[in-house]
Amino acid sequence: MAPLDGQNGVWKSGKGKGRKTPKGRQFGDDALAVVQDLLGTLPRRRDLLIEFLHLIQDRLGHLSVENLCALAHEMCLSQAEVYEVATFYAHFDVVKEDETPPPALTIRICDSLSCELAGAGQLRAALEQGLDPAQVRVLRAPCMGRCDTAPVLELGHNHVDHATPEKVKVAIAAKATSPTIPDYQDCADYTAQGGYETLATLRDGVEWTKVQDTILASGLRGLGGAGFPSGKKWEFVRANPGPRYLAVNGDEGEPGTFKDRYYLERTPHLMLEGMLIAAWAIEADKVFIYMRDEYPAVRHILTTEIAALEAAGIVAPGYIDLRRGAGAYICGEESAMIESIEGKRGLPRHRPPYVAEVGIFGQPTLVHNVETLHWIARICREGPEVLAGTEKNGRAGLRSYSVSGRVTNPGVYLLPAGSTIVDVIKAAGGMAAGHVFKAYQPGGPSSGLLPASIDDVPLDFDTLQPLGTFIGSAAVVVLSDQDRARDAALNMLRFFEDESCGQCTPCRVGCEKAVKLMQADTWDQGLLEELCQVMGDASICGLGQAAPNPIRLVMQHFGDEV
């Protein structure tokens, strides 16, 4: 029998269903053209997915599913992979076929603790009533690292400090949606003052262990919150064969913390030189800076100054890769940050292996906080005494306390690491007029709240653990007699509920249940304690493990309120 038997090219019996299109959602040529235009000649690498999503969101104001499908096609990724990443991050607006895109203008109002104390709730209500929702969208958002000028909101990419409805209306009328770039020390000035001479000397053939000894002698510990001795970390990373990477953690999402922004908006090259010294010490093949999306001015400064470093021949073009976060607190946790740098959802990894062994792209990675690197530059230039030379209350070193809440002059204060809350409040000009000191958050919501009666403990690493708390990133928020500790703790748990990555049940469900239980007039303290136990014992990362701190400390010290 002849193979086609007169059926002219039809091999199938006709029972199967031939497909004209691939499976899944479809996209048109126009959507693909937009994506191809935006990506230009950029390499279609998986790790750049979040950067590409930003390109589309910035141009179109949202991410339509059609554009997401076209992007998946262009990058040879599954649609599910692109969708799961796009929907993980708060700053991406995914719009399905039957949904209306958001209006051109978005206002994000910070509702974390310092802004809430300063009236963010009333501000939000006023704006929701006073603005046309078809023109302007009003969203709540977590801490923007500007707690010293609370309440704060972001109009487009323009932050409005000490925000009022009137200020917002003026800004809208003026179409003021771009960030204000502060005055800062640029590359030329930094170099003229002797900047990068230390780096040049080290690169000239100094043994890296000499620098390690200097860093260890200074007593520098990780200022992202974990407090690990910085010099030791270099050794762990170096113990693993290369290629090795350095990742700078610029996520600074812990509510109440704004020290990294403070330094980057003034002296960015101290961080950059410290970063290049650390990269030299571990022989890093490449450096990634992960900068939160909430700091557009800092991203502008870094883009400009990295270009200046390349032009000056201090780094090879492309050696420093500046990456943009997309609104996810959890990406400050180092392994989640690494996932995000790889273009994925920010889900913390299980440990071991530690990122020093298996980090970015599976390679040994050194992760440092912005301020840690700032001090590495200063220690290498000024000697270990710049930190170790200060002693107070039996503690050595200095701390940059971010201070906000009910104080006269909120701001960043560089004080001896042995400072107590009394010293910190004094540095910040004392209590705000009409307020009596009642309680304080020593180091971000993860640290919970302590009562004013505990006022003689140095706010440093290791000193607060016996009290069931820790200093973390030294984000001090001061509460007064006009505030309720239980409301502050609820604010903190709401933050964790929003920001839990959802990967593990004790944290995802635990935060949600805690928020519900904490809204009752009388707390079910037995049940809450059980919940705290499970969250602390069984959560994968520090977010879920520390989230019980505010609950427990309020039950312990402010029992009359709950």
List interacting residues with ligand FES (CB under 6 A): 110, 112-115, 143-144, 146-147, 150, 152, 255
Closer of 107 and 403 to ligand FMN (Cβ): 403
Establish if 279 lies at the interface with ligand FMN (CB under 6 A): no
Per-residue DSSP letter, 103: P
Shortest spacing between CB 31 and ligand FMN, in angstroms = 35
- Residues with Cβ within 8 Å of 540's Cβ and at least 6 positions away in sequence, in order, are 348, 350, 503, 504, 507
Give me 275's structure tokens: 């970063």
Q: For the window 286-325, what string marks contact with ligand FMN as x by the rule CB under 6 A?
A: ----------------------------------------
Q: For the window 369-398, what string marks contact with ligand FMN as x by the rule CB under 6 A?
A: x--x--------------------------
Question: What is the 3-state secondary structure of 124-142?
Answer: HHHHHHHCCCCCEEEEEEC
Shortest spacing between CB 498 and ligand SF4, in angstroms = 11
The 411-416 sheet, strands edge to edge: 411-416, 398-405, 475-480, 437-441, 450-451
Stretch that binds ligand SF4, among 157-165, 243-251, 504-512, 513-521 (CB under 6 A): 504-512
Closer of 145 and 219 to ligand FES (Cβ): 145
Stretch that binds ligand SF4, among 173-181, 222-230, 449-457, 502-510 (CB under 6 A): 502-510
CB atoms < 10 A from the CB of 45, how many?
A: 12
Binding to ligand FMN in span 482-541, by CB under 6 A: 541
Establish if 94 lies at the interface with ligand SF4 (CB under 6 A): no
Rounded to whole angstroms, the Cα distance separating 423 from 404 reads 14
Select from 50, 147, 287, 504 the one that contacts ligand SF4 (CB under 6 A): 504
Q: Are 319 and 248 in contact (CB under 8 A)?
A: no
Shortest spacing between CB 106 and ligand SF4, in angstroms = 25
Select from 502, 512, 513, 515 the one that contacts ligand SF4 (CB under 6 A): 502
Greatest CA separation for the chain: 101
Closer of 124 and 345 to ligand FMN (Cβ): 345
Place of tokens 């599976």: 362
Residues facing residue 160 across a β-bridge: 153
Place of tokens 């860093």: 215
Amino acid letter, 523: W
**CB under 5 to 8 A by kind: which of ligand FES, ligand FMN, ligand SF4, none does 332 bind?**
ligand FMN
Residue 403, SS3 per DSSP: strand
Binding to ligand SF4 in span 194-223, by CB under 6 A: none
Burial class from Cβ neighbours inside 10 Å (0-12, 13-18, 19+) for residue 383 reads middle
Select from 226, 308, 386, 427 the one that contacts ligand FMN (CB under 6 A): 226
**CB under 5 to 8 A by kind: which of ligand FMN, ligand SF4, ligand FES, none does 368 bind?**
ligand FMN
Establish if 508 lies at the interface with ligand SF4 (CB under 6 A): yes
Shortest spacing between CB 467 and ligand SF4, in angstroms = 23
Residue 108, SS3 per DSSP: strand
Residues facing residue 108 across a β-bridge: 139, 154
**CB under 5 to 8 A by kind: which of ligand FES, ligand SF4, ligand FMN, none does 367 bind?**
ligand FMN
Calculate the CA 307 to chain-centre distance.
24
Q: By C-alpha distance, which of 154, 140, 149, 148 is closest to 112?
A: 140
Q: Are 517 and 562 in contact (CB under 8 A)?
A: no
Amino acid letter, 209: T
Closer of 164 and 545 to ligand SF4 (Cβ): 545
**CB under 5 to 8 A by kind: which of ligand FMN, ligand SF4, ligand FES, none does 112 bind?**
ligand FES
Give me 249's structure tokens: 């953690």
Establish if 513 lies at the interface with ligand SF4 (CB under 6 A): no
Closer of 363 and 500 to ligand SF4 (Cβ): 500
Closer of 66 and 273 to ligand FMN (Cβ): 273
Query: How do the residues of the chain divide into helix, strand and coil, expressed in percent and rounded to 5?
Result: 45, 15, 40
Place of tokens 């104001």: 61
**CB under 5 to 8 A by kind: which of ligand FMN, ligand SF4, ligand FES, none does 554 bind?**
none
Give me 366's structure tokens: 């050194």
Shortest spacing between CB 545 and ligand SF4, in angstroms = 7
Q: By C-alpha distance, which of 267, 270, 322 is closest to 291?
A: 322
Binding to ligand SF4 in span 522-551, by CB under 6 A: 539-541, 543-544
Shortest spacing between CB 472 and ligand FMN, in angstroms = 8
Burial class from Cβ neighbours inside 10 Å (0-12, 13-18, 19+) for residue 547 reads buried
**CB under 5 to 8 A by kind: which of ligand SF4, ligand FMN, ligand FES, none does 469 bind?**
none
Stretch that binds ligand FMN, among 102-110, 203-211, 218-226, 521-529 (CB under 6 A): 218-226
Residue 317, SS3 per DSSP: coil
Select from 39, 107, 373, 507 the one that contacts ligand SF4 (CB under 6 A): 507
Alpha helices in 252-407, H assignment, sequence order: 259-264, 268-281, 296-311, 334-341, 370-382, 385-388
Residue 520, SS3 per DSSP: coil
Closer of 258 and 496 to ligand SF4 (Cβ): 496
Q: Which residues bind ligand FMN (CB under 6 A)?
A: 222-226, 228, 249, 251-254, 330, 332-334, 367-369, 372, 541-543
Q: Which residues bind ligand SF4 (CB under 6 A)?
A: 330, 348, 500-504, 507-508, 539-541, 543-544
